[in-house]
Structure 1
Amino acid sequence: MYLGVPTWVFSWGAPYDDAIRRIARLGGFKSVELTVWNEELLNGYYTPSTNRQLRQLIADEGLKLSELFCIPLGMASEDAKQRAASVEYLKRVLDVAHQLGADTVLTVTSCPFELDFPFEQLKPTSQEWTIELPKGLDWKRNWSDFVDTMHQYEVLLEDANMRMAIEPHPNRMIHNSAGMLRLMDQLSTNRIGLNLDPSHLFPMGEMAQVVAYEVGDRIFHTHFSDNDGQSNAHWRPGKGKIDWGATIRALDDIGYNGPLSLELEDVPGAAGYPGFNRSPHSQPELLEREYRLARDYIIRAAEEQGVQIEQ
């Protein structure tokens, strides 16, 4: 196992060149992640020439690209045309991932029926948390349509010789290990697996170490950030209630040897989604301090379990 960093914590939007260089200068990190937030980035930024330049830069900095993040909207829509559009979108993302040198793409699934559920980070501990659901929704059909879309994703992944890691999020089609295991039982290949992200599993009442044993070798990637169960935030490991030693031990037990990517989206200095009281640009001194502290914490937690982190 080795440590990694998603570029979007350093710069929410493109270009990502400076973020890659800053991550390399931190020391102790071996991988980065890139993201395709939307159609605009896919068409306007990730051109063949830019992809070649990014791939070369990552290699020159002594790093590897662990995955390319994307959100194929419409995968859980009632509208067959929207589901088909999500398949076409993923096909284009896989082409970009291939050009960048990635063998894995990462995604979060849609909410049922593509409904707008409340944004979890806004959840105060005393607020009633609910959504007004339309009448007459066919929930079994929605799941069936979603699985059919996943089968179409599998065909694309097989053709591209790539994998997809699904990151469970509260309220989405895949929000916990049970949902992931249910989906895995209905898939035709081993191309789709899990991105183990304790900060999202913990608010759903799950322990990351248990999920690691449940899902086993279908864990393709990880995001490490802490949480206290009250929201969906991404804190520095050691600031919340997640047992990192047990999580690392479980990953080692199942033979996981991929990235432990520190996704510190809600720490001081982190870049964030514009308009959500956040700047798309990070504050380097604050953020780099958080990353060094997180790096050292995870390395110590691993050493206490007799697990060596590759550096």
Structure 2
Amino acid sequence: MTDHTLPLLGVCLPTDALETYGDWIIADQRDLEIQDFFSADLLEGDWRGTAAKTKRLLAGYTGRLGIHGPFWGFSIGTMDADIRAVVQKRLGQGLDACEEIGATQMVVHSPFTTWDYTNRHHLPGQYRTADNARATLEPLLPRAEALGVTLVIENIEDRDPAERVALAESLASPSVRVSLDTGHANIAHHQHSAPPVDHHVLAAGSLLEHVHIQDTDGYADRHWRPGMGNILWGSLFAALARIDAKPRLNLELRDKAEVPAAVAYLEALGLAR
């Protein structure tokens, strides 16, 4: 029998996959992250057609809806003002999609790299990644706030989870919070001696509003279902229980057919449902 006190898992899906999983999502109003609107080709094309299909397939859905924002080919920490303008255009298009489908959250990628980590003290005058990221995001915040959309900054290469948290805090907006990708954190832990995944949760604390749940071997960005890699899931969910936040816990699997097995695995461990 399912323990309904366990955290409820959400999922990341492209719109087309809603034809398979839509009823399952709507039955419990699970958190959902639509993963179509990060594509520049789509955003420069018929993105409204995709949005219309999303809304049609989600008839009856009242859960927490988000999107993965654009990220391919750029960093929000760019120091080039001309490129920053393009980044702001893309993120603005992501907000257009949020407005169209009623999403209240958009994932954006962290600007912090392994180079930043090793040179932040060695080259302090050249280390301006956070300043550059603020210059990118600040002009977008009035609209995000007006729409009720929160930008959640997801770790990519981050070695120090505190940097991402400090960036979110420095923007002083209810529309900027923190995301955690468990697989990315696990890779940074194994490859670059970053803290383990549960420490990323504790570092973010009440600012953690989104989690990508995926397993890895600590080497590559596998996006496996939990149980296929070496993440210690018990420690992750124990850390989540300690913080004053209820982040969206979205399975982000490369093989969407593995979603039921992922839920069953975490439910069998008594961690989530």
Could you state the TM-score of these two structures normalised by the residue count of structure 1?
A: 0.70
Matched, 1:5 2:6: no
Distance 1:155 1:216, change over 3 A: same
The one-letter code sitting in structure 1 at the alignment partner of 2:265 is Y
Aligned to 2:259: 291
The one-letter code sitting in structure 2 at the alignment partner of 1:56 is R
Contact 1:105 1:165 (C-alpha < 8 Å) held by counterparts = yes
Distance 1:258 1:147, change over 3 A: closer
Q: Alignment partner of 1:238: what SS?
A: coil
The correspondence of residues 40-59 of structure 1 with structure 2, limited to 5 A, is: 40-47=41-48, 50-59=50-59
Contact 1:4 1:261 (C-alpha < 8 Å) held by counterparts = yes
Contact 2:168 2:178 (C-alpha < 8 Å) held by counterparts = no
Matched, 1:193 2:184: no
Q: Distance in 2 between matches of 1:74 and 1:260?
A: 25
Contact 1:24 1:63 (C-alpha < 8 Å) held by counterparts = no
Could you state the TM-score of these two structures normalised by the residue count of structure 2?
A: 0.79
Q: Alignment partner of 2:217: what SS?
A: coil
Q: Could you tell me which runs of 5 or more consecutive residues in structure 2 were left unpaired when the two chains were aligned.
A: 1-6, 116-122, 190-194
Aligned to 1:207: 196
Distance 1:193 1:82, change over 3 A: same
Shift of residue 38, structure 1, vs aligned partner: 2.5
Q: Distance in 1 between matches of 2:151 and 2:142?
A: 12
Q: Alignment partner of 1:2: what SS?
A: coil
- Structural RMSD (CA): 2.8
Aligned to 2:136: 149
Q: Distance in 2 between matches of 1:71 and 1:85?
A: 11
The correspondence of residues 262-277 of structure 1 with structure 2, limited to 5 A, is: 262-265=251-254, 270=255
Q: CA offsets, 1:15-57, max 9 Å, x none?
A: x33x10212356787243212232221132321x542442231
Q: CA offsets, 1:195-224, max 9 Å, x none?
A: 221100112123222221221121111111
Distance 1:83 1:186, change over 3 A: same
Contact 1:221 1:260 (C-alpha < 8 Å) held by counterparts = yes
- Percent identity of equivalent pairs: 23
The one-letter code sitting in structure 2 at the alignment partner of 1:88 is K
Number of residue equivalences: 249
Contact 1:5 1:23 (C-alpha < 8 Å) held by counterparts = no
Q: CA offsets, 1:139-177, max 9 Å, x none?
A: 32444222222323333322322101111112xxx5541
Q: Could you tell me which runs of 5 or more consecutive residues in structure 1 were left unpaired when the two chains were aligned.
A: 9-15, 116-135, 271-286
Shift of residue 237, structure 1, vs aligned partner: 0.7
Contact 2:214 2:224 (C-alpha < 8 Å) held by counterparts = yes
The correspondence of residues 128-277 of structure 1 with structure 2, limited to 5 A, is: 139-170=126-157, 174=158, 176-205=160-189, 206-265=195-254, 270=255
In structure 2, which of residues 14, 20, 23 is the aligned counterpart of residue 22 of structure 1?
20
Contact 2:165 2:207 (C-alpha < 8 Å) held by counterparts = no
Q: Distance in 2 between matches of 1:198 and 1:295?
A: 16
Contact 1:2 1:257 (C-alpha < 8 Å) held by counterparts = no
